[in-house]
Structure 1
């Protein structure tokens, strides 16, 4: 349960970060990646809401808990929002790698300790998708 209530605002921040890309980056590969992040995580947020409701829990809020692995601080988000061009691209990828790694850590904990099949299935899909995106971003950073 904790996994779901933590993953919702975690995903909300990733979507917020992804929405910054089209107006700040000229890198088409990064723009496409940000769209993929948003298209993957928005439906997962709906899935989390549905699962929580099935357990009789309230709809989660997008309220950030900065104790979560990989969550960006307000200062980090402000720095990202102020950047543009290649500086933005590099900062965004570095932050999103950190953000994804935090999500993977939480998902791996759920896989090891969770007892709900739907929640564990979601955790596995998060690990798989976000690890692929981390690999892609590391490749892009090494080429820049």
Structure 2
């Protein structure tokens, strides 16, 4: 039984590593569909460790740290995207959906940064400039920000759909591969809310 449990945890850790690092090539343009979520190993980016390889506090492992860092990077961009809705959307349902999601996303970011502070890892973005699943790039933000009305709504909803899908996937993997109880608890919350918001998309 122990061997089977260890094997499952090892497999989950491998899945999380792929999800955390897939598609991190800079300036490569995002592949579409299944190819995008299974980017080649050459484009992978390892999770950042504490400076000098020092031990982090608490019970964090590399999966915990990698997930926290990736979710912060993804949510930072999602908050910027959600902030475009007022003044750009022509759909009252989109505006109604986006407002509580933006509030919840900011709260999620605050919880993630508290966890990051506990790890002892600097609050820097190792994924800055990377093109990866679920991450709204600066180019995409500019493109979406130039759109208005129905064109904006279509681009916005597509980007949020991808963000929420990926957030739920990596949160599910963190629940299995992570070690810190508080981080795994937040991952469970992220998975649940991401799926709920995804279902409620206009």
Per-residue CA deviation, residues 32-61 of structure 1 (Å, 9 max, x unaligned), is 221122111111111111111122222244
What runs of 5+ residues in structure 2 fail to find an aligned partner? 1-64
What CA RMSD, in Å, does the superposition of the two structures yield over aligned residues? Answer: 1.8
- Asked whether the 8 Å contact 1:114–1:120 carries over to 2, the reply is yes
The structure number with the bigger radius of gyration is: 2
Deviation, structure 1 residue 65: 5.0
- Asked whether the 8 Å contact 2:78–2:136 carries over to 1, the reply is no
Rate the CA distance shift 1:82–1:98 in 2: closer, same or farther, 3 A: same
1:79 lines up with 2:161 in the alignment: no
| Residues in 1 aligned to 2:130 and 2:167: alpha-carbon distance in whole angstroms | 13
- Asked whether the 8 Å contact 2:69–2:126 carries over to 1, the reply is no
- Asked whether the 8 Å contact 1:10–1:71 carries over to 2, the reply is yes
Deviation, structure 1 residue 67: 4.7
| Residues in 2 aligned to 1:17 and 1:70: alpha-carbon distance in whole angstroms | 12
Partner residue of 1:29 out of 83, 90, 93: 93
Task: Say which SS state the counterpart of residue 23 (structure 1) adopts.
Answer: coil
Partner residue of 1:93 out of 157, 174, 187: 157
Rate the CA distance shift 1:120–1:95 in 2: closer, same or farther, 3 A: same
| Residues in 2 aligned to 1:81 and 1:70: alpha-carbon distance in whole angstroms | 18
Greater relative CO, 1 or 2 (CA 8 Å, sep 6+):
2
| Residues in 2 aligned to 1:45 and 1:63: alpha-carbon distance in whole angstroms | 16
Which residues in structure 2 correspond to 1:86-125 (within 5 Å)?
Answer: 86-125=150-189
Deviation, structure 1 residue 78: 2.1
Per-residue CA deviation, residues 61-92 of structure 1 (Å, 9 max, x unaligned), is 49635354211233322221111101111211
What runs of 5+ residues in structure 1 fail to find an aligned partner? none
Rate the CA distance shift 1:86–1:78 in 2: closer, same or farther, 3 A: same
Rate the CA distance shift 1:3–1:107 in 2: closer, same or farther, 3 A: same
Give the TM-score of the pair, scaled to structure 1: 0.86
Partner residue of 1:2?
A: 66
| Further displaced range: 70-79 or 98-107 | 70-79
